[in-house]
Amino acid sequence: MAQQETDEQISVDDEGFVVDTEDCEAREAAHRERGTSRPITVVGNPVLHKECKDVTEFDDELARLIDDMFASQRTAEGVGLAANQIGVDLKVFVYDCPDDEGVRHVGAVCNPVLEELAPEDRVLDDSNEGCLSVPTAYASLARPDYAVVRGQDAKGNPVKVRGSGYFARCLQHETDHLYGYLYIDRLSKRDRKDALRQMAENTPRYEIVPND
C-alpha cells in the first residue's frame, strides 16, 4: 500500500520505505532532461578511492548535481551512479534499477548508510556485477540479495530504501562507491586482475575522464 502525499513531500509505504516505483519514466526523464551528461571517472582516479564528503546543503546546487547524475547515468546506460563517478566528492547516488521481480526503482539517496542484516536474512547471491568506472568488465561477486539503505532525499528528508535481487546489489554497490570502494576491491586478487584486464582490452561506449 502506498500513501500518496502532496508534491514536495515523499511518499512512503506502510513500513516507512520510500515509494520509488511510481511514475519512474516521468521522474527519470525530468531529471535527465534538466541535467547535462558528464564523463565518467575510472578506477585509479583518486576521487573514487576515498570516502566522499557528507551532503550538508540540500539546495539548488545539489538538485542540479542529481539532474546531471541522471543524465550521465542514462548516457552510460547504468542502473546506478555515485557522485564521485562524475568527479564530485559528495555522498549522493542515483539509481534506475529493476528488482528481482522486474519492478523498476528510480531515486536518489544522500548520505547513505547500509543497514546490517540479521544473519537469518543474509542470503548470498553470486550474480555478475559490473561498474561504469571499470568499463566493459564483469565479475561474479557474492552479496546479500536484500538490502536496506537509510539516508536523506534531495530535500534533506530522512528516507529508507529497500531492494531485492539486482536492486539490492545496486544499493550496496553505490553505497560502497561513496565510501571509496569499487566492487573489484571485494574480488579475489585473481578476479580483480582479470577485471582490469577486461577493461584494458576493450573500449567503453561512453566518455570517460582519462587518468593521468
24 annotated as a binding-site residue: no
Query: For residues 19 and 73, which CB has a smaller minimum distance to Zn ion in the complex?
Result: 73
Minimum distance of Zn ion from residue 127's CB (angstroms): 15
Minimum distance of Zn ion from residue 134's CB (angstroms): 7
49 annotated as a binding-site residue: no
- Give me the residue whose beta carbon is nearest to Zn ion: 131
Residue 207 a catalytic site member:
no
Integer Cα distance of 42 and 55 in angstroms: 22
- Distance from the Cα of residue 2 to its chain's centroid: 23
Minimum distance of Zn ion from residue 174's CB (angstroms): 7
Query: For residues 18 and 131, which CB has a smaller minimum distance to Zn ion in the complex?
Result: 131
Active-site choice (15, 57, 174, 201): 174
Alpha-carbon distances of 86 from 173, 190, 210, rounded to whole Å? 16, 28, 12
Q: Of all residues in the chain, what percent are helix, strand and coil, respectively (each to 5)?
A: 30, 25, 40
- Supply the Cα-derived Rg of the chain in whole angstroms: 16
The residues that are catalytic are 174
State the binding site for Fe cation. 131, 173, 177
